[in-house]
Amino acid sequence: NAGVTQTPKFRVLKTGQSMTLLCAQDMNHEYMYWYRQDPGMGLRLIHYSVGEGTTAKGEVPDGYNVSRLKKQNFLLGLESAAPSQTSVYFCASSGGRDSSNQPQHFGDGTRLSIL
Amino acid sequence: AQSVTQPDIHITVSEGASLELRCNYSYGATPYLFWYVQSPGQGLQLLLKYFSGDTLVQGIKGFEAEFKRSQSSFNLRKPSVHWSDAAEYFCAVGAYSGGGADGLTFGKGTHLIIQP
């Protein structure tokens, strides 16, 4: 039982490059989330999805795009990476409408450095 | 909008001593509250959660937390800490509105140091 799996675990980019972070969950969860974690800031919500084909903005969405084409996958894209996007990115998932009291399950994170 | 305050950035406790980590929240309705623990280089592990009912919640690893609506607090406690408890602890509040789950708002974390 893998839970929430994030790919890749580490990545270094140059300013202006693009990349996609992949999150996959095998718990049949409806809801998925992308957070970023910066020193002294806790975790902040970037985007989230309440079901396949839907996405919504979180607290810090600028510079990121997301897609949820399949229920089990949630992709986070950086179209033109900036040094301010250097961070640790966490994906999470939780149960759906019939289980709204379920906690979020987190992946192990992706460490992204933008030079 | 909801918010979470963890007043203590760092806390140092001797091994075997009791622990209390503070968490205050701001939310307009009944909150869903969580405590997560993060070891260095790792993801977040859920310690315990409060949704409703009994205001004293038991979690894993011997942790408990008490929801106090009048004080807008959800403090985490452990009667006797172990060296393996050294980690970063995050309190979070969830907004579950309109049948959806709109994501968690986290505090900035408390770094727990255990002295031998």
Dig out the tokens for A71 from the structure.
């229920």
Residue type, A61: P
CA distance B94 to chain A (A): 9
The predicted model gives B30-34 an average pLDDT of: 86
| pLDDT tens string A22-54 | 999 999 988 999 999 998 888 999 999 988 999
Binary contact (A106, B44; C-beta < 8 A): yes
| Phi, psi for A106 (deg, rounded to 5) | -105, 150
Binary contact (A48, B32; C-beta < 8 A): no
DSSP-derived 3-state class of residue A110: strand
Binary contact (B104, A109; C-beta < 8 A): no
Average pLDDT, chain B: 91
| pLDDT tens string B78-102 | 999 999 999 999 999 987 655 456 7
The answer to whether A107 and A92 are in contact (CB under 8 A) is yes
Q: Is residue A7 less than 8 Å (CB to CB) from chain B?
A: no
